[in-house]
């Protein structure tokens, strides 16, 4: 039995010295690329930028999804619109007073808008505008750095969002981000998000070769969940 899921590799965790090789291999295998935008204020790390979106565009037509971890979300929304990033996801914790204007701006540009919920943030935070969202991302680790402790309790939000979507007829997709790997594949699959963000522990760090890492990831997913991998591509 197979289950359709979408995979979104986190490019923050890839081997940058193998950038072109890894992107070229993944282009026909993944549904989107997950691009972390960190400003050093919302979280203490600084990572990728809208410029990085432009670089990936040179060798890929796979949709790109920006996950902003920034304090001045409207500023970064404008930057990401300028580079035509397919999905722009803002941190719900700093969206009070600007959420509707950011969503409208993103949609006016013909792009998709999403909101991200950090582990301590409840679904109630996004309820005023949830009907306008194309995606809701649930963080299952603290934001800012890869490799942090997996927070299993956050998976309840995925179940709640799925139930809410069915009850209200919302159209957002549900994404989970954080420590998607052999240890957690089964419990994540049980929560049943639409999109899995995969990083170093689940893909890029499995072996020294992206093709071997991809094969190992699929084997681990299928052996852990009992489902055959199917991402619709």
For all residues of the chain together, what is the average pLDDT?
A: 93
Q: Which residues of 37-73 are buried (b: 16+ CB within 10 A; e: fewer)?
A: bbbeebbeeebbbbebbebbeeebebebbbbbbbeeb
Residues 48-73 have a mean pLDDT of 93
Return d(Cα 123, Cα 156) in angstroms, integer. Answer: 11
| Local structure of 22: helix, strand or coil | helix
Phi, psi of 190 (to 5 degrees): -65, -35
pLDDT band at 39 (very low <50, low <70, confident <90, very high): confident
| 169 annotated as ligand-binding | no
Which strand (E) or helix (H) includes residue 51? helix 50-57
pLDDT band at 45 (very low <50, low <70, confident <90, very high): low
Indicate the pTM of the whole model.
Answer: 0.94
Catalytic residues: 36, 177
pLDDT tens-digit profile of 191-220? 999 999 999 999 999 999 999 999 999 999
Residue 10 is given by DSSP the state B
| 184 annotated as ligand-binding | no
- Residue 226, sorted as left (phi over 0), alpha (psi -120 to 50) or beta, turns out to be left
Return d(Cα 149, Cα 181) in angstroms, integer. Answer: 12
| 107 annotated as ligand-binding | no
Integer CA distances (angstroms), 192 to 47, 109, 160, 215, in order: 29, 30, 11, 22
| 110 annotated as ligand-binding | no
Residue 205 tokens read as 């760090």
The whole-number pLDDT of residue 40 equals 64
The whole-number pLDDT of residue 2 equals 83
pLDDT band at 96 (very low <50, low <70, confident <90, very high): very high
| 142 annotated as ligand-binding | no
| 108 annotated as ligand-binding | no
pLDDT tens-digit profile of 148-188? 779 999 999 999 999 999 999 999 999 999 889 999 999 99
Return d(Cα 93, Cα 77) in angstroms, integer. Answer: 15
Q: Give the domain 2-225 fold.
A: TIM Barrel (3.20.20)
The whole-number pLDDT of residue 46 equals 63
pLDDT band at 104 (very low <50, low <70, confident <90, very high): very high
pLDDT tens-digit profile of 105-151? 999 999 999 999 999 999 999 999 999 999 999 999 887 566 577 99
Q: To the nearest 10°, the Cα dihedral for 146, 81, 78, 69?
A: -10
Contact yes or no for 117/109 (Cβ under 8 A):
no
Query: What is the residue extent of each domain of the chain?
Result: 2-225
* 44 has pLDDT over 60: no
Return d(Cα 89, Cα 173) in angstroms, integer. Answer: 12
Return d(Cα 30, Cα 39) in angstroms, integer. Answer: 27
Query: Helices 19-26 & 210-225, crossing angle to 10 degrees?
Result: 50
The whole-number pLDDT of residue 144 equals 58
């Amino acid at each position: 039995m197979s289950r359709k899921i979408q995979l979104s590799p986190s490019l923050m965790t890839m081997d940058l010295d193998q950038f072109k090789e890894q992107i070229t291999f993944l282009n026909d295998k993944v549904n989107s690329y997950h691009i972390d935008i960190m400003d050093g204020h919302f979280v203490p790390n600084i990572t990728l930028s809208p410029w990085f979106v432009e670089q990936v565009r040179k060798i890929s037509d796979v949709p790109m999804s920006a996950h902003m971890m920034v304090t001045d979300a409207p500023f970064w929304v404008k930057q990401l619109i300028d580079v035509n990033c397919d999905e722009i996801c803002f941190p719900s914790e700093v969206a009070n007073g600007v959420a509707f204007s950011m969503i409208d701006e993103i949609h006016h540009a013909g792009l998709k808008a999403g909101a991200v919920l950090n582990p301590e943030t409840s679904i109630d935070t996004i309820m005023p505008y949830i009907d306008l969202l194309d995606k809701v991302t649930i963080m299952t680790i603290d934001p800012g750095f890869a490799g942090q402790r997996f927070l299993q309790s956050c998976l309840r939000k995925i179940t709640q969002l799925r139930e809410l979507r069915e009850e209200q007829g919302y159209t957002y997709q549900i994404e989970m981000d954080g420590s998607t790997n052999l240890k957690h594949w089964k419990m994540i699959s049980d929560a049943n998000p639409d999109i899995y963000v995969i990083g170093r522990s689940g893909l890029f760090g499995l072996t020294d070769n992206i093709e071997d890492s991809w094969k190992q990831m699929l084997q681990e997913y299928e052996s852990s969940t009992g489902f055959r991998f199917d991402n619709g591509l």
